[in-house]
Amino acid sequence: MTNRRQIFDYRRQHPELFPFYCESCVPQRRFALPPHKAQHDKDKHGISIPIISISYPQEATYSALTLHPNPMSASATSSPLSTLSARELNTFVQNELEPDTEYNKSCNTVVDRLCQFMQNNFPDQLRPSEVRKSGSLGKGTAVKGKSDADLVVFLARFHTVSELRQSLPSILDRMKLYLGRYGGCDVTGKSSYAVKVSVLCYGHSHDVDILPSVNILNTMSKEEIYAEMVSASSSYTREYYSAALAPLQIQFVSRCPAKVKNLIRLMKYWRKTDFEESTGTLRLPSSYPLELIVIGEWERAGGPNNFDLRKGFYHVLTAVANYRKLKLAWTQNYTSHHCRDPYYVMDPANPFNNVMNVCNCWEKVAEKARSFLRTADLFTGVSDFGGWL
C-alpha cells in the first residue's frame, strides 16, 4: 500500500506529466493519458465514456481513448517523456512503468486462471500438454497498467507442424467457442494462427493471443527443426513454426538484467505515447522488434549490467533513427540466417524471421525518433560520442 501511495503522491506533484484527473476521488487521482482515466472511471465509479472525436488544429485528434498528434507527423512529440528532466527519469520509470510485486502477482493470477481453464476444461482434441506464457508478461518486460500476453498452447494430440496446419482452422474455431462461452473471456477476434481475447485484471486489462502449437522442441533438435523449415514450400508455411519456437524467444529476452528490461519498458512507453495505434495500412513496430533492438544496442555497448538509463535510451533511439544501418543477428540457436534484406533484426529463435518486417513505416518512426532526440529535455548534454555509463 505504501508504494501505491507514493505513486499517487508523485503524480499529484507532477501535474504537467499527469494532466488528466478524477473529479470524484479524494485525494485527487491523476493520469498521464485519457485511456488510463477512462479505465479508472469505469472500474472505480462505473462510468463508461463513449468515444467521441473532436477536430483540433494542427492535425491533432482527441477522443475518450486517444490524445496524440497525427501519428505520422514528425513535427511534434506528444509523449509525457518529452517534458521529463534527466533527474526525473529513473523515478518515473520506477513509479510508472516498472511493475511492482503486487501488480505482477495479480496479473499472473488472472493469466494462470485462464491457463488452468484450458488445461482442465478444453475437450480432448484441444487439451494442452503444456501452456507457456510468452509476450511481455512471459518475458518479464511488461509495462505497468497495460501489457500483452501470448499463451502458446502445446496440444497433446498433435506431434508435427504439418498435422497442426491441416487442423488449425477448426481448432481455432472450437477454441474461440469454448473461451467465449465457458471461459469468461471477452473474445475480441481471431487471426490465421491465434484466438484473441481480453481479460480483466484489477483495474486494467490484458490482451491475450492464444496460439495452438506443437512442442517440437521436445521431440526434435533445433538443427532438425530449421532443416525442416528450409524445406517448407513457402514463407507462409514457415509461419506455423513461430509459436513452437516461442520458448527460445522467452529464454533469450528473459535472461537480460533488470535495467535492460526497464530500458525496453521505456522504449515501449515512448512508442505507445508518441504514436496512435496502428490503423489501416500503417503498421508500427510491435514490442518484440523494440526488445531486440534494445538488447542488440546494449550488447554492442559491451553489455554493462549498470548503465545510465538516459544514455541508453538516447543510443537506442539513435539506432531507430538510423534504422537503415541495423544489422542485428545472434548465434545462440543457429549459425547462419536466411535474410537478404539490406537491414535487419533477426529473430534469435527463427533464422527466417526479420522482425523489422512487421512494421511498414520505419521511415516515419525514424522521423519521430529524430524529433524526440532533438526536443526532449532529458537528452540535454548527451551526445553520439558518449557511452552508456
Q: Is 181 among the domain residues?
A: yes
In this structure, the answer to whether residues 196 and 214 fall within a common structural domain is yes
Do the Cβ atoms of 34 and 65 come closer than 8 Å?
yes
Q: Is residue 189 part of a domain?
A: yes
347 plus 264 within the same structural domain: yes
**DSSP code per residue over 12-39:** HH-TTT--EE-SS-SS--EESSHHHHHH
- The answer on 240 and 106 residing in a single domain is yes
Distance CA 135, CA 382 (A): 32
Q: Which of 219, 249, 279 is the last residue of a domain?
A: 249
Last residue of a domain, one of 227, 249, 271: 249
- My answer on whether 107 and 226 are in the same domain is yes
Rounded distance between C-alpha atoms, residue 342 and residue 329, angstroms: 13
Domain span holding position 232? 102-249
Whether residues 145 and 225 fall in one domain: yes
174, part of any domain? yes
Q: Is residue 290 part of a domain?
A: yes
**Residue 223 resides in a domain:** yes
Residues 167 and 281 in one domain: no
The CATH number of the domain where 264 resides is what? 1.10.1410.20
Burial class (CB in 10 A: 0-12, 13-18, 19+), 175: buried
User: How many Cβ atoms sit within 10 Å of the Cβ of residue 158?
Assistant: 22
Same domain, 290 and 336: yes
Question: Are residues 239 and 279 located together in one domain of the fold?
Answer: no
Helix axes 287-300, 246-254, angle to 10 degrees: 50
Number of domains in the chain: 3
Residue 211 lies in a domain: yes
CA distance 293 to 264: 9
387 assigned to some structural domain: no
What CATH number does the domain containing 177 carry? Answer: 3.30.460.10
- Of 208, 234, 249, the residue that ends a domain is 249
Residues 207 and 284 in one domain: no
Q: Determine the Cα–Cα distance for residues 161 and 193; give it in Å rounded to an integer.
A: 12
User: Do 172 and 300 have their domain in common?
Assistant: no
- Residues 273, 96: Cα–Cα separation, whole Å: 13
Contact 230, 222 (CB under 8 A): no
Place of cell 555497448: 301
- Give me the amino acid identity at 308: D
Give CA separation, 297 vs 292, 318, 326, in Å: 9, 10, 10
Tens-level pLDDT at each residue, the chain (389 residues): 445 666 777 777 766 566 666 755 757 777 766 556 666 766 665 554 332 222 223 333 222 223 334 444 444 566 889 899 999 999 999 999 999 888 888 888 888 999 999 999 999 999 999 999 999 989 999 998 777 789 999 999 999 999 999 999 999 999 999 999 988 889 999 999 999 999 887 777 788 999 999 999 999 999 999 999 999 978 889 999 999 999 999 999 999 999 999 999 999 999 999 887 656 688 999 999 999 999 999 999 999 999 999 999 999 999 999 999 999 999 999 999 999 999 999 999 999 999 999 999 999 999 999 999 999 999 999 988 889 98
Whether 93 is covered by a domain: the verdict is: no
* Same domain assignment for residues 307 and 331: yes
CA dihedral 255, 259, 260, 265 (to 10 degrees): 110
Quick one: 170 and 227 in the same domain?
Answer: yes
Angle between helices 309-321 and 258-274 (to 10 degrees): 50
